[in-house]
Structures are given as structure tokens and as C-alpha cells.
Amino acid sequence: MHPEAELWFGAHPGDPAWLETEEGERSLLDTLRDDPEGQLGPAVRARFGDTLPFLLKVLAADEPLSLQAHPSARQAAEGFAREDRLGLPVNAPNRNYRDPSHKPEILVALGEFEALAGFRPAARSVELMRALAVTELDPYVALLAGQPDEFGLRALFTTWITAPQPDLDVLVPQVIEGAIHYVRSGDKTFAAEARTVLELGERYPGDAGVLASLLLNRITLQAGEAIYLPAGNLHAYLHGVGLEVMANSDNVLRGGLTPKHVDVPELLRVLDFTPASEDSIRPTTTRDGMELVYNTPAPEFAVSELRIEGEHVGHEIDAPCRHDGPQILLCTEGSTVVYAKGDKVTLQRGSAAWVAADEGPIRLTAEAPTKLFRATVGI
């Protein structure tokens, strides 16, 4: 046994989940191929073919992960076809598009979770850079202050990510030094941003991603809070454990903070530089009895939290039925018995269940307060 950074629950060819059946372990991917109608249901097949359109992950970020963005559906289809024409193997390290699909995603924090996500309003980034009081930043502050919009953000980010390494080797340490002085000053206004600069600078010296962090929203989520990341959103997960649900794709354009392949022209092609407030990145929620639904526009997936507590503990209850498609249930607290089509399975903290479309509505019995997350197809 050893720690895992990611646990995948889904039918992605790169790492499909395995089902415990009466005949032994079986890949969910093979199960779908053998019975797409029963597993996915006619409505889901009509929309997405014989593929499970979503992927669920548990992500444990012990240290900052790469700065990255995901393409739109059109960009993914074009990029995949282009790299196929070039003869790049799907698993080539310098390939950007491993499938022709887009990858919108939501992350729900399971505890305190820290991230960089989306370009913050330019005027606020100007305030941050001025607060660091780094003379070497003055030309860049002037650039963004003179054009405090998406075009100014694009110009500044492009300048940094295309800068020669000798220039970065001078500028990044100066910014780190400014962050050190700022933290020591005791000013709390940009304390989180300054500490992030220090951590990234220690792990990735001379990386343009350290500078890019000055332009992004620095977000701290508490358990149950979420962020939704559409196409083009530049982000990096810093620390914490969270639940990710996304379209069933592995397309990632990296922008730094990684030794992996970084294709700068392609990244710039897919990025959305429209400033976004932190509130706009957090999805709204809707309460329906025991279920809290995270509202997103993604057709491939829907995510909700089911809480069994109070008078419901110890009694068999019907889970809200949103539609007749497949679903994955993940238990993060407590323990419950899940009943579906005459069968039952006990879910404890850390375990998950696949519920096929033809297994009908589910019922739950928990002997203690329990929390489940449900991933299914968007309505």
C-alpha cells in the first residue's frame, strides 16, 4: 500500500475502473462495451454514443500541480485531427490532444483546498504587483495598468511565458524577494498570493508559472465548496483533497510548473483571458431535500452531494431520482447500504458503487450520518 495522487472512477481507456462482480473483477470499460443499452440507457446512448461521458476522480494534491488549461470541443476536435495527420502517437509525450473531446470540470473540496483559477480582474493584479514593490516589475505593471482588460492580460502573460530563460532567471528571483519582504511586512491584503509565489518559486525556480500566479485568482475552498472550470480557464491545484468530475477526456495544455511538455503557441490559442471574479468561478447550488446539486452547464456530467442525517439515519429512504442514466456513488463519510434492482452493496468511506441505467432508482439505509457524492450525466 502507498499513497495515491489520483483515484479514477470511470471508463477512460487510460485507467478504467474495475467492478467487483459475482464472476470476479471486471473492467467497467468492458462492461459498457458488452451491454451499452443496459449500462448507459437509451437516452444517454442517443446523446453520447456507447461511451460513458463523464469521469470522476479523487485528487490529493500534496504539492502544487501543473499550470494548465483545457480546450473547447472545437479546439479539441481540430487539435486531435491535426496531430493524427502529423503521425504523433496518442501516448507521445509531446502530444497535446489524446482524444477529440473537450474537458470542462468541477472540483468539490473534501477539506480545505487551495487553487489558482482564472485570470482575476486586471486592476487587482496591478495592485498586487505594486504591493510587492519590485522595481523589475515596473514595466509590466505599466503594461497592464495601461490596458486593464483581457487584451492587457494576454499581452502580459504572453510576454512572460515567451521570455528567454536568462530573463526569467533574473526576474523570478526578484519577484520572490519582493514576496519575502511583503510577507515580513505583516500586510494581509495579498498574503496568500505572496506565500504562493514563495512556494512555487522554491519548487520551480526560474519558471514563468511563478509570474503567471500573479495574474490568477488565489482561491481557498472549504469542504463542500466548489469551482467550475470551463474551456480556456488557466488553473493550478495547490493543496488539498478534492473530488473532480469532468467530461471523459485527458486533454491538457500545460503552461508551466511542470517538467512535462509545454506547447506555448497551442496554450495561447486555447486560453480565455477574460477576467473572472472568484465568485463567477464558484458554481451555484440547489437544495432538493437530502441532495445538494452543483449547477454547471456541462451536458456530460452532473454532480451532487447526498447527506443522510438526523431522522433519516437508520431508515430506508429513496434517493432523489434525477433521470434514468447511469451514476457513480462515492462515500466520503459514514457508511450506507445501497439497494438497486434487488441487489445491495455496502459503501463505506472511500468506496464507490457503479449503478447502471437499468438498475433503476436507488434506496439507501445508513446506520450513522453519511455523505455520498453522486456523479451522473447532465440533464
Which residues are annotated as part of the binding site for Zn(2+)? 68, 70, 105, 235
Alpha helix ranges (H) inside the chain: 28-34, 36-40, 42-48, 73-85, 122-132, 138-146, 150-161, 165-185, 191-203, 208-212, 264-270, 278-281
CA distance 238 to 156: 23
95, 98, 120, 254: the catalytic one is 254
Copy the grid coordinates of residue 200. Answer: 512555487
Backbone angles phi, psi at 177, to 5 degrees: -65, -40
85 assigned to active site: no
Q: Which amino acid is at 304?
A: S
CA distance 327 to 9: 11
Copy the grid coordinates of residue 37. Answer: 443499452
Copy the grid coordinates of residue 232. Answer: 480556456
Beta-carbon contacts of 195 under 8 Å, excluding residues fewer than 6 positions away, are 179, 183
CA distance 290 to 95: 44
Are the beta carbons of 178 and 187 closer than 8 angstroms? no
CA distance 226 to 98: 27
Q: Which amino acid is at 255?
A: G
DSSP assignment, residue 215?
A: G
- Number of Cβ atoms within 10 Å of the Cβ of 188: 9
- Number of Cβ atoms within 10 Å of the Cβ of 313: 16
CA distance 188 to 93: 41
Are the beta carbons of 64 and 195 closer than 8 angstroms? no
21 membership: H or E segment, kind and range: strand 18-21
Q: Which residues are catalytic?
A: 254
